[in-house]
Amino acid sequence: MKRILTVQDISCVGKCSLTVALPIISALGVETAIIPTAVLSTHTMFSDFTFHDLTDEIVPITRHWKNENINFDNIYTGYLGSIEQIALVANLFDDFKTNDNQIIVDPAMADNGKLYPAFDETFAAKMATLCAKADIIIPNITEAAFMTGMEYKESYDETYIKEMMQKLAGLGANISILSGVSFEEGTLGVMGYDRENDEYYYYKHKKIDASFHGTGDIFASTIVGAIANGMTWKEAIPIAADYTAHCIQLTLDDKNGRWYGVNFEEGIPYLLKRMGK
The residues of the shown chain that bind ligand PXL, judged by CB under 6 A, are 9, 11, 16-17, 40, 43-45, 79, 108, 116, 213-214, 216-217
Residue among 142 and 176 whose Cβ is closer to ligand PXL? 142
CA separation for the pair 7, 95 (Å, rounded): 14
CA separation for the pair 264, 249 (Å, rounded): 10
Q: Give the SS3 label for residue 200.
A: strand
Residue among 4 and 169 whose Cβ is closer to ligand PXL? 4
Q: Which residues contact 150 (CB under 8 A, 6 or more apart)?
A: 144, 160, 163, 164, 167
Query: Is residue 123 within 8 Å of 90, Cβ to Cβ?
Result: no
Closest distance of CB 81 from ligand PXL, Å: 8
Q: How far is CA 70 from CA 73, 101, 228, in A?
A: 11, 13, 17
Please give the backbone phi and psi of residue 191, each rounded to the nearest 5 degrees, phi first. Answer: -110, 125
Residue among 180 and 216 whose Cβ is closer to ligand PXL? 216
Closest distance of CB 53 from ligand PXL, Å: 12
Closest distance of CB 11 from ligand PXL, Å: 5
Closest distance of CB 264 from ligand PXL, Å: 12
Closest distance of CB 22 from ligand PXL, Å: 13
CA separation for the pair 272, 186 (Å, rounded): 27
Please give the backbone phi and psi of residue 179, each rounded to the nearest 5 degrees, phi first. Answer: -95, 160
Closest distance of CB 261 from ligand PXL, Å: 8
Residue among 77 and 101 whose Cβ is closer to ligand PXL? 77
Residue among 137 and 169 whose Cβ is closer to ligand PXL? 137
Residue among 169 and 218 whose Cβ is closer to ligand PXL? 218
Of 53, 195, 179, 32, nearest to 108 by C-alpha is: 179
